[in-house]
Structures are given as structure tokens and as C-alpha cells.
Structure 1
Amino acid sequence: MLVPMRAILEAADKHRYGQGAFNMNSVGQVEAAVRIHELLDSPAILQGAEASNAYLGGAADFMNGSIENKQKGAKVLGDAVKQYGGSSPIPVALHLDHGKSLESVKACIAGGYTSVMIDGSSLPYEDNVELTREVVKYAHPYGVTVEGELGVLAGVEDHVFSATSTYTNPMQAVDFFKKTGCDALAISYGTCHGPNKGKDTRIRREIAIATKECMLHEGIQGYLVSHGSSTVPQEYVQSINALGGQLVDAFGIEVAQLVDVARCGINKINVDTDIRMACTRNILQLFHDEPALKESPALAQFYRDLTANPKNVDPRNYCNSIMDTIVKGEIPNEEVGKIVQCMKDGVVAAIAPLLVQFGSFRKSQYVEMVTCEQMAERYKKEGI
């Protein structure tokens, strides 16, 4: 069943486990993600980044896609999540990751998203507050959850670029919740976007603890989010490089640290890079095991795109030749079917261990199965 993300975060907060949130870039990935969450009886938060909406909406240069592309792509992802998660026995939320404008937010809500993030963290504080509040005013009447961001994470991921980080001030986070009425807040506490987070990175759990304690003291019922939290399994790095990739200094956040902060106030843990790497590793292995596919009419261009940049592990950069399959889930032949299966298996391989390690498996029963319409009524009564 599709639910607003707030319902899922409420359960994670109350029962003190980490709720993974996973970025999706194809219909096949959505199907696989819903199925593994169902198998492990875990609530599911699936995410579409603003650039991914542009990609699924037909923008070849998806980093600079038009609002029309984003509208089309949001509907593609919304329809896919509705198809595979709408009648699911587990709670499923679809969340916009790093939305940059009210127009993108509107496109996602129209496309079926049950949660949106507006990222004004690069703006002056008062401008960030104003933009987030504007999104809250628009989204809450639809029962849609709103996540904001305060502080700047280092690293590179889609539209997020920063060479340095600025840690979140716990007292300012309290002020931000009060002024905006947002449901959740992504904080900067030492994580980093992308696959190059640095070896032995230590996240500052004391920032999460202090922020949560200040919120409790002020009676704020809000939820904290950890961005840039991919674990970058070293077996993925080694396999990709052994198969022709060129990943350098690729390290993630230690799982044990994420499990720890999930008990210290962090409710949602965003993961994207792990899935990209798992899918790319599987596809490289497929071509290694079946070299004839490199020259097959169905996959020759795909293989050229795959190997054009050995440092790249983002499937969005090499799947243009099979976009009908990516967007519609249609499999025209056996060769393309093998690629789809590699991507589905990659999603399962990346997600399944984290659902167990973060602690969300067997937790679906704790989530209130509330609709967006019902949540909208609650917001209205509470004057949010």
C-alpha cells in the first residue's frame, strides 16, 4: 500500500531502527526493490532524484532536463511504484530526493509521489526556510510528507556538488522545524555524497544526538535523515575493477556506524551508490561470461556505452540504447532480458543486507497504513 513517508518514519523513530531509502532509475529496479522489501517484510522508501525524473522523462542530458521531462519521468516512476507497490501488503512510500524547486515538487506530487524533499541547503538560511515553508504549504494539503535539508554535505551526486561540508547546528535545526513545519530534516554530520567518501570516515554521531535531544526538549515531532550514506562494499569495487572498471579511492560509510546512529535519532538512511555499483558489477560480469553479447545486434551499442568511461558506474550513463525497457519495463529479446535481470539482481544484492543490518526487516506491522488523504486531514486539524 502506498503511504506518506511520515508514517514509515514514525515507526522507525518509535522502535529505534534505521529505515533505508533507495534510489530507483528504472521500472525493473522498482519491481525488484518492492519484492525484496516484501520478502523481508520491511517498510519501503523508494526514491526518485530530480535528475532521474528528467532521465526517465526522456532527457539525454538528464542533469539539465526540462520541467516537462521531469513531469513525464515523475509519472513513469509514480506509475511503476503504484503498479508494484499499490496493492502490496507492506507500506511503500515514493520520495523525491534533492528536489530543487517548487516546480519539481509539483511535478512529483502530480506523478504520484507520497513524499518530497526540497533541498535549499545551499541558500542563505532564511531563504532556505522560506523555500521549505512554501513547499510545506503546497504539499501538506495533499497529505504529502516534506523533507528539508540543513547543512551542506561534501561530495558529488546528481545536482549536489560541494568540495567541503558544513555541519548542522542542532539549535538551528530546531528553529528550522518550527519555522517551516517540515516533517523530516536531512542533517550534515560527516557523511558524503558519491563513492569517494574517504577511507575510515567517521560520522559525528554527537550532532545527531544533540539535534534529537533539542527537538525532544522543544516538543518537536520530526525525523532526521542521513544523506550520502552508501556503504560502497569493497567487494563491488574489487569486482568492477577486475572486470575493466577504474574506481579509485572508493570507500563508503561503515555499516556499524549507520546502525549506531539509527539508535541515536537518525530515522532514514539514503543509499544510491551501492545500487549503481551492484548493477554495473553484474552487467560487466555478464559480458565477461558471455563475450558474444558484446557484438550482438541488441547489445553492441549498449556495451560500447558501458565501457566508454571505465570510471563510471551510473547505469543512467550507459542505458540509452534500451530506454524503452528502462521506462516501460518491456523486454524485446533475450539479450536485453539478461541486462534487466542483472539490474534486478543488483538491486536485491545491494538492498537485502541493509534491510537486515539497519533493522527494518519484519517491521511492516509497526507502520500505520494511512493514506495521503487521511494524512492531509491530520495536517489540516493540526494547522500545519
Structure 2
Amino acid sequence: MYVSMKEMLLHASEHRYAVMAINCVNLEQAKAICYAADAEAAPVIINISPRQMKAHATPEVMVPLIRALAEPLDVPVALNLDHGAEFKDITRCIRAGYSSVMVDASQYDFEENIRRTRLVTALAHERGISVEAELGHVGQAAAGDGQEADFYTRVDKAVEFVERTHCDALAVAIGTAHGSYPDNYVPQLDFDRLAQLKEALNMPLVLHGGSGAGEANIRKAVALGINKINVCTDLFRHQRAAMHKQLNTEPTIDYMDIQMHGMQAACAFIRSYMHMIGSSGRYQFRHTGDAYD
């Protein structure tokens, strides 16, 4: 099924598990994501960032491709614009048929973030499209941004932000960062802040920069209320390593076959991650019309 993020994340919030939001740039990755979700009876979100959209995966091509993969399945699949900072990118994805968008105005001051988020929420909601926003700022791991407490999401501001914007999910800053952390470095997350945010907001919360954060951190974050985890760097690295290994083993391998190796490696990684965050087996299709078990 091709759906928005809203209902799947509300269910995840109520039942204390998380849904993977996986960055995707081509057919093979889209197939791996959908096959894994189907095999695990798990909801899933396909993310495409503006940079990925412009370099590899244009909305006009990816929307019909992903709809064709998702609609025959008995598990919910959402297509989400990841970190939509430019209004023109957001509206392009809405027009093309994305089922969800993220408006990321976290680089602006509080009032400007609210103004931009409200504008996107109004536009998207009237079309049945869910909206994720970000408050606080999840920066880049290479710059050490994740440990800047000034970037962390404030509970009082988060309550006001959600009330004024009506966003469906909120990405919070609690100590993670995008990209690759230095070797042997595991971020220290502010779990007390996360617990306070969940109690105050009682809504789906999102963790960006999940790659490299460590299994213990991810499991605890889910237990305390994270319901959507963005995964890009870890998957891309895993897929590349599998393809590199196969090329070393079989240097003359056909292009199509090496792509298949990458797809199979991605599918296995995703299925394992779904188990870790508790989304496997959450969706049981019933002909009575009841979606979630």
C-alpha cells in the first residue's frame, strides 16, 4: 500500500516501536526496501533528500516507480521528502505525488521556522499528505555538531511549535548528527530530554543521524519514544561493501548481477534493522479492514 506516514507513525507511537525511513536513489534500493518490508510485515518509509533527488532520483520518475512497487503489497509504504529546506523542492514533490514531506526550517529562528512549517503543513494537509518538521538542529557528525547542547530541542519550545504548526511528526535534536562519526566514536544521547519531549508532546518523534549511533543508543531511543529513524549512511556503506567484495571475488561480473548483489545485501541489512527497532511483524493484513494487529 502506498500511504502517508501519519497513520503508521501514530501506531508506532502508541505501541512504542520505530519505523525505518531509508534513503533511496534508484530502482534496486527501492526494491530492496519494499521486499524487506513485505518479508518482515513491517511498515516502511522511503526517503529521498533534495540532493539525491537532483542527482539521481527525480520525483517525476521515482513516484510512479515506488507506487508500482508499493501498491500491490499488504504493508504500508510511504514516500517522504527528506530535509526539504526549499519551498520549490517541497511543492515539486507534492505535485509529483509524494505521500509525505519534511519541511526543515531548523536553520532559522523559532518564529521563521514556525512560519515556514505552517505554510507547508497547510498546503500538504489539504492534499492528504503528512508533514514532518524539525526543531533544534541535527548537524553534521564531521563537524561535531551532535554534541552542541545549544542545538538540542527545548521541551517548552517543542510544545509551542507543534501547537502552532500542526505538524504530524517532529524531528528532535538529542545528540545525534548526520553522516559518519569518527572511528570508535559513539555519541552520547540526552535520553532525559527525549523522555521529557515524549511526555510533553505525546506524538511521533523522529531521530535523524541514526547511522553510527550504536545499537544500544538506538534501542533505548525507541524505548523512550522515537518512532521514525532515518537511515542512510549505514545502509549505503553496507551495500557498497557487499558490491566491492563481490567485485574482488568476481572481477568480470556482469553489471546487472553486481546490482543484484547490492540489492540483496541492502534487503538483509534492512530486515535486521527492522527487528532491532521493533517494526517487524507489526502489520498484519486482515480482510475485515483492520490494518494493524
- The normalised TM-score by structure 2 is 0.91
- Do the aligned partners of 1:274 and 1:350 also contact (CA within 8 Å) in 2? no
* Per-residue deviation, 1:256: 2.2
1:227 counterpart = 2:208: yes
- CA deviation profile, 1:161-194 (whole Å, cap 9, x unmatched): 9586411101101111011111111010011111
- CA deviation profile, 1:210-241 (whole Å, cap 9, x unmatched): 1111224xxxxx321000001xxxxxxxxxxx
Out of 195, 202, 208, the position equivalent to 2:188 is 202
- Do the aligned partners of 2:22 and 2:47 also contact (CA within 8 Å) in 1? yes
- For 1:33 and 1:99, the matched residues in 2 are separated by 21
* Per-residue deviation, 1:56: 2.4
Alignment length, in residue pairs?
A: 286
Which is further off, 360-369 or 284-293?
360-369
- For 2:246 and 2:123, the matched residues in 1 are separated by 46
- For 2:35 and 2:223, the matched residues in 1 are separated by 27
- Do the aligned partners of 2:146 and 2:176 also contact (CA within 8 Å) in 1? no
Identity among equivalent positions (%) equals 30
Structure 1, unpaired ranges of 5+: 58-72, 217-221, 231-251, 294-334, 371-384
- For 2:198 and 2:247, the matched residues in 1 are separated by 48
Change (3 A) 1:32 1:163: closer
Q: What amino acid is aligned across from residue 46 of structure 2 in structure 1?
A: L
Secondary structure of 1:291's match? coil
1:280 counterpart = 2:240: yes
- Do the aligned partners of 2:243 and 2:259 also contact (CA within 8 Å) in 1? no
Q: 2:37: which partner in 1?
A: 37
Once the two structures are superposed, the pairs formed by residues 1-384 of structure 1 within 5 Å of their partners are 1-56=1-56, 73-155=58-140, 165=148, 166-196=151-181, 199-216=185-202, 222-230=203-211, 252-292=212-252, 335-365=254-284
- For 1:114 and 1:162, the matched residues in 2 are separated by 30
Which is further off, 355-364 or 48-57?
48-57
- For 2:259 and 2:95, the matched residues in 1 are separated by 28
- For 2:10 and 2:146, the matched residues in 1 are separated by 33
Structure with larger Rg: 1
- CA deviation profile, 1:227-275 (whole Å, cap 9, x unmatched): 0001xxxxxxxxxxxxxxxxxxxxx111122122212121111111111
Change (3 A) 1:22 1:108: same
- For 1:182 and 1:368, the matched residues in 2 are separated by 26
Structure 2, unpaired ranges of 5+: none
* Per-residue deviation, 1:142: 0.7
Q: Which runs of 4+ in 1 moved over 6 A?
A: none
- CA deviation profile, 1:265-304 (whole Å, cap 9, x unmatched): 21111111111111110121122112345xxxxxxxxxxx
- For 2:61 and 2:110, the matched residues in 1 are separated by 34
Q: What amino acid is aligned across from residue 7 of structure 2 in structure 1?
A: A
- The normalised TM-score by structure 1 is 0.70
Change (3 A) 1:368 1:30: farther
